[in-house]
Amino acid sequence: MNFESRKLAINAWPESDRPREKMEREGARNLTDAELLAILIGSGSADESAVALMQRILADCHDNLNTLGKMSLRDLQAYKGVGPAKAITILAACELGKRRQMATVEAHPMMTSAAEIYSYMHEKIQDLDIEEGWILMMKQNYRLIEAKRISVGGLTGTAIDIRLMMKEALLRNTTVLAFCHNHPSGNTCPSREDDALTSRIQKACQLLNIHFADHLVLTDGAYFSYREMGRI
């Protein structure tokens, strides 16, 4: 980046130098710390761009984000072009970075039984007053890849699109699939529509060589498993 670009407003820079466009084109990991922070604060001052401003602040922190995060709002506002809103944004970004470091990687639980599926899904359905249909896409060892809601408001023939369900499964390289839905009434007994849907899902899985693990009817406190009851 040349000296003239440092003085121009970012939207007047060559597109290849603009941090937002660079991030869209190359991904966040290819931006410098100053460029990422410049995206957050949006603008610099009349004398320097947002990137140049953040480069100057980071230089005073020996290019250490941890040191930047220890600055006070007053410290940051001592820089021309940094008001209260920008100072708060910078420190909020630093705090998020610290919290991400402390966070554990989200686990992908095992779903080897109806009880494990129910335990995982219970918090998602316990307070619902309408029916929702979910697919749980798993690896061959029954470790969850993703749980995805695919219908809301009942399980009629038009509400559940088997083709969409299978498309989602194939896109995620699913080898084991389970389906579940809730009964807000509290009655776990499956309906004839539930039976028909189970049969359709099972046939679709057989065609695509996906193991259909189970269909669960869930309530707040109990469940019905087609697999456990020997109905698939």
Residues 26, 71 within the same domain: yes
What is the domain count for the chain? 2
In a domain, 31, yes or no: yes
> Could you list the residue range(s) of the whole structural domain that residue 33 is in?
3-102
Q: What is the pTM of this model?
A: 0.57
- Are 38 and 6 in contact, with CB atoms under 8 Å apart? no
- The tens-digit pLDDT sequence of the chain (232 residues) is 544 444 555 565 554 468 889 898 898 889 999 999 999 999 888 889 899 999 999 999 999 998 999 999 999 999 999 999 999 999 999 999 888 887 666 678 999 999 999 999 998 888 888 999 999 999 999 999 999 999 988 654 336 789 999 999 999 999 999 999 999 999 999 999 999 999 999 999 999 999 999 999 999 999 999 999 999 9
Instruction: Verify that 53 and 85 share a domain, yes or no.
Output: yes
- Tokens matching residue 225: 């498993």
Q: Pick from 179, 176, 191: which is nearest to 150 by CA?
A: 179
3-state helix, strand, coil split of the chain in percent (to 5) is: 45, 15, 35
Instruction: Assess whether 190 and 217 both reside in one domain.
Output: yes
Which domain CATH number covers 58?
1.10.150
Strands (E), 65-197: 132-138, 144-152, 176-182
E strands in 161-207: 176-182
Do 92 and 64 share a structural domain? Answer: yes
The reply to whether 122 and 213 lie within a common domain is: yes
CA 142 to CA 77: how far, in whole Å? 53
The CATH number of the domain where 210 resides is what? 3.40.140.10
Q: In terms of domains, do 59 and 149 share one?
A: no
Q: Which of 45, 122, 156 lies closest to 57, judged by CA?
A: 45
Residues 175 and 140 occupy one common structural domain = yes
Distance (Å, whole) CA 184 – CA 131: 7
Give kind and range of the element (H or E) at residue 168: helix 162-171
Same-domain check for residues 90 and 126: no
Q: Is residue 231 part of a domain?
A: no
Q: Is residue 107 part of a domain?
A: no
Query: Are 124 and 221 contained in the same domain?
Result: yes
